[in-house]
């Protein structure tokens, strides 16, 4: 089968991903073989390819926003049958036994495996999924529309929860890429006022079209203080900008898996008055299931650009 293979991390300009023929995949009793139709591109893939995340596996096929059809099922699989449309996300498998799994925090599992990181992912014609961690895809979405929901959507939804945003409150989004353009649709559905901070003129226009009540750059002063904020861009200096815009008692969620160093900060200016800073680490299957149900209900519409695998 054909796959985009990473032998060793390098800057993306050096084209470290190469289209190669690799052996056909085999599955275990609790797994399914998925014929890939679409695989979304996530910023985490860039961190992986460029070596900003230490790789536990080399060579590696990245990609973890996979939409496809079940080609083969393992002996113990009852959730899916051949031909079912399924989605694969970042969380590939957890132990189910550690304290985090037992407390409903499987996203923090000590033995968690991740798609396109510990195991080969979806930049290929076929991929293997752990059947209990794959998602049935709701009707009403094309393959291209639903692919971003499998990471950008799931992590965005968890970031909304971590930010403690409430209906009809003010939410700030710093960076307006894949996750943010899904999150704004959920926040609008909840009646929130969404303020978007991005230096990209194109992204500012998209944010306005999707219902942002205000757009500007990170250093700009918003018309009102924020009740909650989420940083999607992997730039540590944005933490100070977001805290500066946050109201007393507000919560800032850091949604990225990687971030450049956060600058030293003045405690009284940025953190005092019970401002909270929380990171978002991976997501649970419940996050994914709830988010997909909500996406179908709203319904969320994603903006995508398609490329052939090569």
Neighbours of 229 (CB within 10 A): 31
pLDDT of 277 over the 90 cut: yes
* Confidence band, pLDDT 50/70/90 cuts, at residue 281: very high
Give the Cα separation of 288 and 94 in Å (integer). Answer: 15
Nearest to 181 by CA among 213, 158, 204: 204
Which residues does 185 contact at the CB level (< 8 Å), separation at least 6?
A: 210, 211, 298, 300, 301
The average pLDDT across 1-17 equals 97
**Could you tell me what percent of the chain has a pLDDT over 70?**
100
pLDDT of 127 over the 90 cut: yes
Range(s) within the chain of domains with CATH label 3.40.50.720? 153-279
Range(s) within the chain of domains with CATH label 3.90.180.10? 2-137
CATH 3.90.180.10 fits 2-137, yes or no: yes
Mean pLDDT taken over the chain? 97
User: Under a CB-based contact definition with an 8 Å cutoff, are residues 114 and 283 in contact?
Assistant: no
* Confidence band, pLDDT 50/70/90 cuts, at residue 254: very high
| 125 exposure class (CB count in 10 Å sphere: 0-12, 13-18, 19+) | middle
Give residue 298's pLDDT.
97
The average pLDDT across 4-8 equals 97
Give residue 258's pLDDT.
94
Q: Whole-model pTM?
A: 0.94
pLDDT of 180 over the 90 cut: yes
With b for 16 or more beta-carbon neighbours within 10 A and e for fewer, the 66-80 pattern comes to: bbbbbbbbbeebeeb
Q: What is the number of alpha carbons within 13 Å of residue 289 lying toward its C-beta?
A: 6
User: Under a CB-based contact definition with an 8 Å cutoff, are residues 199 and 174 in contact?
Assistant: no
pLDDT in tens, 16-32: 999 999 998 999 999 99
pLDDT in tens, 159-171: 999 999 999 999 9
Give residue 226's pLDDT.
98
| 202 exposure class (CB count in 10 Å sphere: 0-12, 13-18, 19+) | exposed
User: What residues pair up with 251 in beta bridges, in sequence order?
Assistant: 228, 276
* Confidence band, pLDDT 50/70/90 cuts, at residue 64: very high
Give residue 24's pLDDT.
84
Choosing among 3.40.50.150, 3.10.580.10, 3.40.50.720, 3.10.129.10, the CATH entry for 153-279 is 3.40.50.720
**Could you tell me what percent of the chain has a pLDDT over 90?**
98
């Amino acid at each position: 089968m054909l796959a985009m293979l990473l032998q060793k991390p390098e800057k993306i300009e050096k084209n470290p991903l190469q289209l190669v023929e690799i052996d056909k995949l085999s599955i275990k009793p609790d797994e399914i073989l998925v014929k890939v139709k679409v695989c979304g591109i996530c910023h985490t893939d860039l961190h992986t390819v460029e070596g900003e995340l230490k790789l536990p596996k080399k060579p590696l096929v990245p990609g973890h926003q996979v939409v496809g059809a079940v080609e083969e099922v393992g002996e113990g699989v009852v959730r899916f049958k051949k031909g079912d449309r399924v989605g694969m996300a970042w969380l590939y498998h957890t132990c189910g036994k550690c304290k985090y799994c037992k407390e409903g925090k499987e996203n923090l599992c000590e033995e968690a495996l991740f798609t396109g990181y510990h195991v080969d992912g979806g930049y290929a014609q076929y991929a293997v999924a752990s059947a209990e961690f794959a998602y049935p895809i709701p009707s009403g979405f094309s393959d291209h529309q639903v692919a971003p929901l499998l990471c950008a959507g799931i992590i965005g939804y968890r970031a909304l929860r971590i930010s403690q945003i409430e209906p009809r409150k003010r939410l700030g989004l710093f960076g307006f890429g894949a996750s943010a353009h899904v999150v704004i649709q959920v926040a609008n559905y909840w009646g929130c006022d969404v303020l978007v901070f991005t230096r990209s003129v194109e992204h500012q226009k998209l944010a306005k079209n999707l219902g942002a009540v205000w757009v500007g750059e990170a250093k700009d002063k918003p018309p009102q203080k924020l009740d909650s904020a989420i940083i999607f861009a992997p730039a540590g200096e944005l933490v100070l900008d977001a805290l500066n815009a946050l109201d007393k008692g507000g919560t800032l969620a850091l949604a990225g898996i990687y971030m450049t160093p956060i600058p030293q900060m003045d405690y009284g200016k940025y953190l005092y008055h019970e401002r909270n800073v929380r990171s978002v680490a991976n997501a649970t299957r419940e996050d994914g299931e709830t988010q997909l149900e909500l996406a179908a209900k709203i319904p969320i519409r994603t903006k995508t650009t398609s490329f052939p695998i090569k």
